Structure 1
């Protein structure tokens, strides 16, 4: 919808902005907004296409990002390969394996969604001049994973979710604003 009207556009095919970073951002936003069909559709986009299009103009992404996207796709679509992709993403995102990203950013921001996270997120964003950076208010990847956990706990009585943090907005996490705003 644009300006409250449904608009149809013509697809132009993969472009440099069809990259793994934008895919991850779109995926996490769709999960937080509980747009299940949207994040399932995103999971149908081949990771190789994200790599090819995203790097078509010379931009490089950390190799762990591709395995992380593949692991998320495997999880959502119940495909084999989750363990292998998650392991590869974790191994490639350790600071000593940093090829592109700053090792501190990898250790405290990139890697934590697959490990611990909330404490490291707070530590990273409350250090030095980053303390006033709006990017540190909420960790979108951690919020999205928490939403998946919360929703799983709502459906599966054997799964328990009991994480609270100022970095995880309560109403987004608990889905209590669902339907409040048109999408």
Structure 2
């Protein structure tokens, strides 16, 4: 049995800090180059490049700053979140162009409607980042993204993804979630139902955040803690595999971190320490300043 109020430590897998440092600098140059094209004409592919590189740069910075205690890491997380949302801002149905903040710049983006940059998986990443950076504005922007936009991207996704997004939109908007909706997500995220992802991915990465939200909605603090431990451990087990250990996608457990924050905001103590879950992001240190 777990000792009450005892922090549980889950180490991150080994990552080459020197390589991470070089990548931080390289990615910054690539972001600046792509931003020039975004500022010049709102280039769609350039915006996608800013998004992917900003997310990677944030991940590499957490290798050098595991608690996300430095302002540079926080600013990188915010830029990643802004860029992830900007892709969806340009799917607006009512405007020909939109103004969007990216870092210190306000850029003009032509509206292009549903497109392959704005997939359901991209929506999930944007949602995790918006929650992690605690931007209510960006969260509500994502809650307003409709099924037509997501399905119109043409992306093939696992069946659980669309009801999972609906569940998150309802939760983040404060709307009621029917038991049937959440149960459908749980059922469809069973590894046996996977069509595209590996069974291992579904078991270790896809399902655990679903279980965490279930515990936020219907569980006890101890059940939430157990779900958080399982999710963080599952993330480590998946991303520490030899062919994945150097992938920055695994350096921070974005969905687990976001769910830990949502749990914490709903009164569930977060009693897990891990570099996958940077401490200052869990606590909201920067957003409270």
TM-score (norm 1): 0.83
* Cα distance change on mapping 1:171 and 1:49 into 2, 3 Å: same
Q: Equivalent of 2:240, from 116, 126, 147?
A: 126
196, 209, 224: which is aligned to 1:100? Answer: 196
Taking a change above 3 Å as real, the CA distance of residues 42 and 110 of structure 1, as seen in their structure-2 partners, is same
Counterpart of 1:171 in structure 2 is: 280
Deviations 1:81-116 (A, max 9, x none): 443222111111111111121111111101111123
How far the C-alpha of 1:119 sits from its partner, in A, is: 1.4
Per-residue CA shift, 1:37-87, capped at 9, x if unaligned? 211121111234312x122xxx31111111110110111123234432221
- Counterpart selection for 1:141 from 255, 258, 273: 255
Q: Distance in 2 between matches of 1:38 and 1:108?
A: 28
Question: In the alignment, is residue 161 of structure 1 matched against residue 257 of structure 2?
Answer: no
Q: Does 1:88 align with 2:178?
A: no
Deviation of 1:149 after TM superposition, in Å, equals: 1.8
Partner deviation per Cα, 1:149-177 (whole Å, 9 max, x = no partner)? 2223xxxxxx2313323121001110112
Which residue is equivalent to 1:54? 153
> Which protein has the larger Cα radius of gyration, Structure 1 or Structure 2?
2
Change (3 A) 1:164 1:16: same
Count the aligned residue pairs. Answer: 170
Compute the displacement of 1:7 (Å).
2.4
Runs of at least 5 residues in structure 2 that lack an aligned partner in the other structure: 1-100, 212-226
> Could you tell me whether the CA contact under 8 Å between 1:67 and 1:89 is conserved in 2?
yes
Structure 2: how far apart are the matches of 1:106 and 1:13?
A: 30
Mapped to 2, the partners of 1:82 and 1:48 lie a distance apart of 22
Q: CA RMSD in A?
A: 1.9
Q: Secondary structure at the match of 1:131?
A: coil
**What secondary structure does 1:111 align onto?**
helix
What is aligned with 1:155? none
Matched residues in 2 for 1:170 and 1:114: separation?
A: 22
8 Å CA contact retained: 1:71, 1:83: no
After superposition, give the CA deviation of every residue in 1:2-48 in whole Å (9 maximum; x if it has no partner).
Answer: 57332233322222222101111111111100101211121111234
Structure with the larger RCO, 1 or 2 (CA within 8 Å, 6+ apart): 2
Aligned mates of 1:2, 1:92 — CA distance in 2:
36
Aligned equivalents of 2:116, 2:243: Cα separation in 1: 31
Report the CA distance shift for 1:75/1:179 in structure 2 as closer, same or farther (over 3 A): closer
User: Which has a greater percent of helix?
Assistant: 2
Residues 47 and 69, structure 1, Cα contact 8 Å, conserved in 2 = no
Alignment of 1:63 with 2:177, yes or no, is no
CA displacement 1:117-160 (0-9 Å, x = unmatched): 111111112233323332222110111111112223xxxxxx23
The two structures have a TM-score, normalised by structure 2, of 0.54
